[in-house]
Amino acid sequence: MTGLGTMLRFTLRRERVRIPVYVVVLVMLIASTAAQSEQLYPTAESRAEYVATVEANPGLIAMVGPPYAVTSVGGDVAWQWGAFGAVVAALMSMFIVGRHTRAEEQAGRSELVRSGVVSRYAPAAAAVAVAAVAQLVMGVAVALTMIGFGEPAAGSIALGASLAGAGLLFAGVAAVAVQVSQGTAGAYGLVGAALGASYMLRAAGDVGDGTLSWLSPIGWAQAMRPYAGERWWPLALLLAGTVVLLVLARAMLARRDDGAGLIAPRPGPPDAAPALARPTGLALRLQRGALGGWALGLFLGGVSIGLTAQDAEAILGDSEEVDKLFAQAAGSLVDNYLAVSLLSMALIGTGFAIQAVLRMRTEESAGRLEPLLATALARPRWAAGYVAVAAGGAAAILAASGLGAGIVDAAESGDLGRVPVLVGSSLALAPAMWVMIGVAVALFGLLPRAAAAAWAFLAACYLAAFLGPLLGLPDWVMDISPFTHVPLLPAADLDVVPLLGLTAVAAALVAVGLAGFRRRDVPVV
């Protein structure tokens, strides 16, 4: 394969920051789970109670997987991360493969590369190889981390290998998906659908007799049973599946044109709908797919919260750490659990809000803003469309997660009134999300080159919310996060003063951002 070596070095160079960041974040999450598992169930008694609860809760098993060896810290981590970790690994593969194949073709860079002395297959092969390298690094890092926690080496290696194997298989799925779809977003959608189907199949199988789990690559990864009498042959299944997918991708690549996909793009309307000519209509049209995806994801997150809430007491036990974690809430343990889980969903959903605001930056960098501003469209009106979609979308996403939790909670408790209670509880978090939107708008207007720092602020808020109480961070640090100030319903009472205050801060930040945007050059590149 001519040019493979060059493409490999080139691709690795372009991924030199992303892969380490991805691996470090996943390893830190796994390490924090291990540390928590040690802290939360220090005695054999407390752990036995935890194991009994987990095994008796089909909702949890559907969400996480079959609990093979939750009695040990390693087994608990393997249980909690077996399926989630496989999803994270799969997404890493998807982004690496997508970015260096379909995205390159869409940007027109691929034809430049392929006009050189390079095999037709080299760019895709290099992308898959780099994904494989990333999975290997991630698997080794996970195994070493668990060994560092004093867990058995065989189980630790099996855990790392199961995650890496699932990740590798989805590199194969991504390699096929980028042949099928002509757009990068479409290819990601196909991988996402395959990932979702794998997850659902194994959920149904894990709750039932296990047959369906064998149709799911994530089920294969979990079947390696780390820390519970490791089985190695499912790894061969994952590798064989990867090979089959790569052969398929190669055959498709051999038959298609550069830039083309198997699915031809549908023609669009020759005229625009009236709503499109309004800034909000345009912003919504460009982001409706993302908004729908986030709302669906958060709804499913809400469902999983509802499924676990009734057992919150047994799962979390009664330790000082739990009290610290829930210090901000102050109700019954179930309500505390619901409140903190909804907060967690809101922090995740803030990802949409920031993405929706930073879309303005994408439009600006892509050169699509200039022609719009050369019309009678004032800058603040254009930006207001994106702010409206971000703020309204944030509320819609919160309502979706509250609705998911409410429906399940109502079904379990038989109290239909829980639906509006939990939707309302989730919506009460909106002003904090709006402040995050304000921060992103202010950055976009005043420091456009640093606009991505909004993501760092979100990460800081996440840490403050979940590690702050455990780490004992000083109040002034905690106060910087808007999520510190929201009343955590349904555990706490509704207090409108902080909500109005946060809304005012959000409005002020948006105003500052828009004022900055009016004054600066466009485009700033």
Partner 1 sequence: MSDAISVSGLVKTFGHVRALDGLDLTVSTGEVHGFLGPNGSGKSTTIRVLLGLLRSDAGTVRVLDGDPWTDAVELHRRLAYVPGDVNLWPNLSGGEAIDLLGRLRGGLDPARKRDLIERFELDPTKKGRTYSKGNRQKVALVAALASDVELLLLDEPTSGLDPLMETVFRGCVEEVRKAGRTVLLSSHILAEVEALCDRVSIIRAGRTAESGSLAELRHLTRTSIDVETVHEPTGLAELAGVHDLQIEDHRARFDVDTSRLDEALRRLGTLGVRTLTSRPPTLEELFLRHYGDEIEP
**What are the angstrom distances between the C-alpha of 504 and each of 158, 204, 458, 498, 512?**
51, 46, 19, 10, 12
Q: Is 367 in the site for partner 1 (CB under 8 A)?
A: yes
Cβ closest to partner 1, residue 14 vs residue 368: 368
Which listed residue (48, 112, 243, 276) binds partner 1 by CB under 8 A? Answer: 276
DSSP symbol at 490: T
Instruction: Decide if residue 348 touches partner 1 (CB under 8 A).
Output: no
Half-sphere exposure of 169 (CA within 13 A, CB side): 25
Rounded to the nearest whole angstrom, what is the least distance from the CB of residue 22 to partner 1 in the complex?
A: 26
> Which of 181, 174, 139, 524 lies closest to 364 in space, CA to CA?
524
If one asks whether residue 282 binds partner 1 (CB under 8 A), the answer comes out as yes
Q: Which is nearer to partner 1, 206 or 364 (CB)?
A: 364
> Per rule CB under 8 A, is residue 378 in the interface with partner 1?
yes
Nearest approach, Cβ of 511 to partner 1 (angstroms)? 19
Rounded least distance, CB 155 to partner 1, Å: 46
Q: How far is the CB of 186 from partner 1 (least distance, A)?
A: 10
For the chain, report the end-to-end CA distance as a whole number of angstroms: 37
- Supply the DSSP string of 223-245, one letter for each residue: TT-TTSS---HHHHHHHHHHHHH
**Rule CB under 8 A: is residue 268 a binding residue for partner 1?**
yes
Contacts of 40 (CB under 8 A, 6+ apart): 46, 50, 316, 317, 319, 321, 322
Among 17, 21, 44, 376, binds partner 1 (CB under 8 A): 376
CA dihedral 52, 58, 59, 62 (to 10 degrees): 110
Would you give the distance in Å from CA 385 to the centre of its chain? 25
To partner 1, the closest distance from the beta carbon of 171 in angstroms equals 25
Looking at 27-35, 260-268, 332-340, 418-426, which segment touches partner 1 (CB under 8 A)?
Answer: 260-268
Q: Which is nearer to partner 1, 103 or 134 (CB)?
A: 103
Considering the rule CB under 8 A, would residue 272 count as an interface residue with partner 1?
Answer: yes
**Residue 258 or residue 415: which is nearer to partner 1 going by CB?**
258
Torsion of the alpha carbons at 73, 74, 76 and 79, rounded to the nearest 10:
180
d(CA 358, CA 452) in angstroms, rounded, equals 7
DSSP letter for 485, please. S
Among 371, 414, 472, 474, binds partner 1 (CB under 8 A): 371
Is residue 293 close enough to count as binding partner 1 by CB under 8 A? Answer: no
Residue matched to tokens 């809400």: 302
- Rounded-to-integer distance, Cα 219 and Cα 62, Å: 12
Residue 65 to residue 441: CA distance in whole angstroms: 40
**Shortest reach from residue 514's CB to partner 1, in Å:** 14
**Interface with partner 1, residue 257, by CB under 8 A:** no
Q: Which of 9, 255, 368, 449 binds partner 1 (CB under 8 A)?
A: 368
Residues 75 and 158: beta-carbon distance below 8 Å: no
Cβ 111 to partner 1 shortest distance, Å: 12
Q: How far is the CB of 379 from partner 1 (least distance, A)?
A: 8
Which residue lies nearer to partner 1 by CB, 21 or 366? 366
Nearer to partner 1, 114 or 379 (CB): 379
Give the span between the Cα atoms of 275 and 99, in whole angstroms: 33
Pick from 24, 25, 243, 277 the residue near partner 1 by CB under 8 A.
277
Interface with partner 1, residue 519, by CB under 8 A = yes
**6 belongs to the binding site for partner 1 (CB under 8 A):** no
Q: Angle, nearest 10°, between helix axes 122-148 and 73-100?
A: 160
Using rule CB under 8 A, residue 374 touches partner 1: yes
CB-based contacts of 22: which residues, under 8 Å, 6+ apart? 92, 134, 138
474 is a site residue for partner 1 (CB under 8 A): no
Query: Does an H or E element contain 30, and which?
Result: helix 18-40
Using a 10 angstrom Cβ sphere, with 0-12 exposed, 13-18 middle and 19 or more buried, the burial of residue 268 is: exposed
C-beta closer to partner 1: residue 21 or 374? 374
Shortest approach of partner 1 to residue 523 CB, angstroms? 7
Residue number, 5 or 367, with CB nearest to partner 1:
367
Tell which residue, 506, 501, 512, has the closest CA to residue 437.
506
Q: Which one, 269 or 472, has the nearer CB to partner 1?
A: 269
Q: Is 388 in the site for partner 1 (CB under 8 A)?
A: no
Q: Of the candidates 16, 375, 475, 497, which one interacts with partner 1 according to CB under 8 A?
A: 375
For partner 1 (CB under 8 A), the number of binding residues is 34
- Considering the rule CB under 8 A, would residue 450 count as an interface residue with partner 1? no
Q: Is 106 in the site for partner 1 (CB under 8 A)?
A: yes
Candidates 222-230, 366-374, 407-415, 438-446 — which segment interacts with partner 1 by CB under 8 A? 366-374
Pattern 149-188, binding to partner 1, x per CB under 8 A?
A: ---------------------------------xx-----
Q: What letters, b where the CB count within 10 A reaches 16 and e where it falls short, cover 50-75?
A: bbebbeebebbbbbbbbbbbbbbbbb
Residue number with CB closer to partner 1 (148 or 265): 265
Among residues 186, 513, 184, which one has the least CA distance to residue 357?
Answer: 513
Dihedral of the alpha carbons of 467, 469, 475, 481, in degrees to the nearest 10: 50
Q: Is residue 516 part of the contact set for partner 1 (CB under 8 A)?
A: no
Sites of contact with partner 1 (CB under 8 A) = 106, 182-183, 265-272, 276-277, 282, 285-286, 366-368, 370-379, 519-523
